[in-house]
Amino acid sequence: MLSLRRADPGMGYHAARGGSLVPMLLVLLATLFVTALAAPAVVRFARPAAAPILAIVPALATFWLISVAPGVLRGEPIGLVRSWVSGLEIEFALHLDGLALLFALLICGIGTLIVLYAGAYLGTHPQFGRFMAALLGFMASMLGLVLADDAIALFIFWELTSITSYLLIGFDHERADARKAALQALLVTGLGGLALLAGLLLLADAAGTLRLSDMAAARPDLPLDPRAAAIVLLILAGAFTKSAMAPFHFWLPGAMEAPAPVSAYLHSSTMVKAGVYLVARLDPALCDIASWSRLLVAFGAATALIGAFTASRQRYFKRLLAYSTVSSLGIMVLLVGLGAPQAAAVYILAHALFKGALFMIAGVAEKRTGRKDVEALGDLRRAMPWTAAIAPAAALSMAGVPLFLGFAGKELLLKAALSAGWAAPFVVPCVFAAGASGVLVALLVAWRPFHAAPEAGALPVAAREGTPLLLAGPLLLAGLGMLAGLFPFLGARAITDAAALAIAGPRGTGLVRIDVPALAAPGAALALSLASLVAGVLLYRARARWRAIAALGGVIDAASPQRGYTAALDGILRAARFQTRLLQNGRLRIYLFVCLLSTIGLVLLAAARTGTLPGVPADDVAISAPDLVFLIIAAVAAIVATRLRGRLSTIAMLGGVGFAVAMLFLTFGAPDVAMTQFAVETLTVIIFVLIFHHLPRFAVFSGPWVRLRDGLLASAFGVLMGGLVLLVRRDAVFPPISDAFAARAAPEAHGRNVVNVILVDFRALDTLGEILVLAISGIGVYTLLRLFIRKEREA
């Protein structure tokens, strides 16, 4: 037994903050994002070699991470801080400590293999460029997520992983199932993301810092804060949806609609672990809140059990692996909750290696045989000898057979479960069931199709061996799982220890290192581990009977959260349809009526509450003669427009109103505004002329009383707006900003036209927003007209 040295958070970090020559972390992230953007072009110009070329980038990232690993493992994290939103005290901070290193290595290392695998798996797909862009974009986002040391940055990367995974799950977007699964994953993780944002902001507010690495030490009395419960619930809502914890686990099996490389990468080794990463990252700050650990233990153990049970009933490759992943995610969360960081770190590493390998194997088997049902296959070792040889290597780790890394993970897990105190009676059975189910799944995925005889009467299957690039990934991952189990001193131990220290946080000083040899010391944990192995094998042999018994568990499906999700979605759509029919009924005058009436009502309400009433400023009410002329022209034209019975004349009158107002702008010394108004009026009239003969007959829809009502409303609104302008002039609270603009335009912005300087310089961001809206509405008009024209032609 040996006490681990705790990393000094200040050391090295400040050195990097002060004067690191090249901000390598930033370069790393930026390079990956740029590679993602460049992926479609690379695929277009170098199609056969595109995947190997693109894989160079994550491979280099992996090597860089390995090269800095010794320093990080010595307890010298690499950090980086850049000013970001200075007004809100938000800084962009990255931080590479042991926990981030473990995840970053998984993301970049497995990512490299996945890129190669995807090239072999999907390389000929016409949309392969888009696929690689989304995959690399996801990789970059995920890396950003684990490196982020700022709550806001973490949230942004978190959402980016949701969006990129939406694109990846829905990659085969012409299939309705894929679209539905993608939307479901996006909605569930997206809603969780919103909860997470609220939780992070509350936590940051309570801790007084947005810096994740400072949060643990910031508020020792956090459990006493009245917001503690809300913080825990909101953050867990985010983490649990992302990591498919029960009752949110239903989206993960659906996400298996994605191509195999995506399942292998996102849904086993990386994205679903984001929630686990988050609870591990925040555990030092939140573990003193009693409900935090209890919820982690309760939901983790329950998810492990539900995932294990559901997995044991499946017979399709991906469903088996998906539900067993749900079970494993539950175990990881459980381990964080139990305060067993070493076990959590080893389990995360072991799971990523074997599950990534098995998903890739499953992809190869599905692709090369065209079958998804493991029971429909058998004796594939003759046609696919290499695949058949690699698969058990990964499966043995998953089953937790001694000498493999999975065994170490299981051993630590059982030890943690046995010493769980009050929770042990609940936790140990869940963990045992998860272990047995893992053995069953491992046998079904890696043994049944390859080494067992096919079912009597099964259709013959034409199978071909996978190409070397398809098998390189699983081979390497399974091999690593074996080596890390056999030779724990070869680096894997150092990395998991450093990750465990980071998870433990300030408690790390007291962390006791548990030695796990490849063959464990005898004890209760070993006995349980071997018992679960035996139970799994027995389950496998009696699986036909077990499925019949477990089918009774189908009642669970009736109350499954999937149904709740569907019902909620339908309910929202119904509510939307109802309120659309009510409010958006397609009659322009109703829209105007509602808008004007509510504006008047709100303004009057505000006026009544503050006691202010519109009034005329005493100083200047002079109206010059030309102004009066234009005002009268505008008023007369407006009134005449309401009385006319012809479309052209009405349009002309409305144009008259516009031109008269434009002339007013001119007399008030605003030539820019006037000019724009003239141009707009002209274009409007032209548009009317262009669509003139498409329009229906000019009709009067309203009777005299309705017209009177509308007239009164219109007049009231005009009076109100006029009154408001006068009020603003009378009761100006702040000195008008226009003087400052006028004074600064020439010296600071090199322009004498103040209006233009405001538009393109002082308030350029507003203008940017406006032209964006303009462009979007242009796209909308285009789409509507195109659809309309196409429908008309088809009709």
Partner 1 sequence: MNSLVLRTAARFLLPLLLVFSVVLLLQGHNEPGGGFVGGLVSASAFTLYAVAFGRDAALRAVGINLQVLAGLGVTIAILSGVPALVLSEPFLTGHWATVPIPGIGDVKIGTPLLFDIGVYCTVWGVALIMVLNLAEE
**Can you give the binding site for partner 1, defined by CB under 8 A?**
83, 671-672, 675-676, 679-680, 682-683, 686-687, 689-691, 749-753, 755-757, 759-761, 764-765, 767-768, 771-772, 774-775, 777-779, 781-782, 785-786, 789
Closer Cβ to partner 1, 643 or 750, answer by number = 750
Specify the amino acid at residue 276.
V
Please choose, from the candidates 64, 73, 9, the residue with its C-alpha nearest in 3D space to the C-alpha of residue 31: 64
Rounded to a whole number of angstroms, the minimum distance from the CB of residue 773 to partner 1 is 10
- CA angle, corner 632, sides to 631 and 637, nearest 5? 105
Nearer to partner 1, 506 or 778 (CB): 778
| Contact status, residue 98 vs residue 497, Cβ threshold 8 Å | yes
CA distances from 248 to 215, 289, 420 (A): 28, 23, 25
Residue 720 or 755: which CB sits closer to partner 1?
755
The residue to which tokens 């997995």 are assigned: 311
- Residue 632 or 746: the one with the smaller Cβ distance to partner 1 is 746
DSSP class of residue 46? S
Q: Is 290 or 680 the residue whose CB approaches partner 1 more closely?
A: 680
Task: Please say which residue, 38 or 66, places its beta carbon nearer to partner 1.
Answer: 38
Q: Least distance to partner 1 from the beta carbon of 86, Å? A: 8
C-beta of 240 vs 741, nearer to partner 1? 741
The Cα 488–Cα 494 span in angstroms is 9
Tell the smallest beta-carbon distance from residue 653 to partner 1 (Å). Answer: 21
Q: Quick one: DSSP state of residue 150?
A: B
Q: Hey, is 447 helix, strand or coil?
A: coil
CB of residue 793 vs partner 1: minimum separation in angstroms?
A: 11
Which segments of 586-647 are extended strands (E)?
none
Strand partners, 91: 83
CA distances (Å), 13 to each of 76, 97, 501, 550, 669, in order?
7, 10, 16, 53, 58
Token readout for 94 is: 């990255």
Tokens 């029919």 belong to which residue? 581
Closest CA relative to residue 20, chosen from 104, 98, 75, 76: 76
Geometric angle at alpha carbon 486, from 480 and 311, rounded to 5°? 60
- Tell me whether residue 459 or residue 695 sits nearer to partner 1 (CB atom): 695
Shortest CB 17 distance to partner 1, Å? 16
Shortest separation between residue 777's beta carbon and partner 1, angstroms: 7
| Of residues 27 and 764, the one with the C-beta less far from partner 1 | 764
Of 486 and 774, CB closest to partner 1:
774
Query: Coil, strand, or helix at residue 3?
Result: strand
For residue 81, what is the enclosing H or E element?
A: strand 78-85
CB 678 → partner 1: shortest distance, Å? 9
The least CB distance from residue 680 to partner 1, in Å, is: 7
Report whether the peptide linkage leading into residue 259 is cis, meaning its omega lies within 30 degrees of zero.
Answer: no
Nearest to 499 by CA among 344, 355, 356, 353: 344
Helix (H, G, I), strand (E, B) or coil at 83: strand
Q: At what angle do helices 273-286 and 228-242 cross, to 10 degrees?
A: 160
Shortest reach from residue 472's CB to partner 1, in Å: 40
Q: Give min distance, CB of 674 to partner 1, in A.
A: 8
State the minimum distance, in angstroms, from the CB of residue 383 to partner 1: 51
Given the complex with partner 1, which of 490 and 772 has the nearer CB atom? 772
Q: Are 51 and 141 in contact (CB under 8 A)?
A: no
Q: Which residues pair with 30 in a beta bridge?
A: none
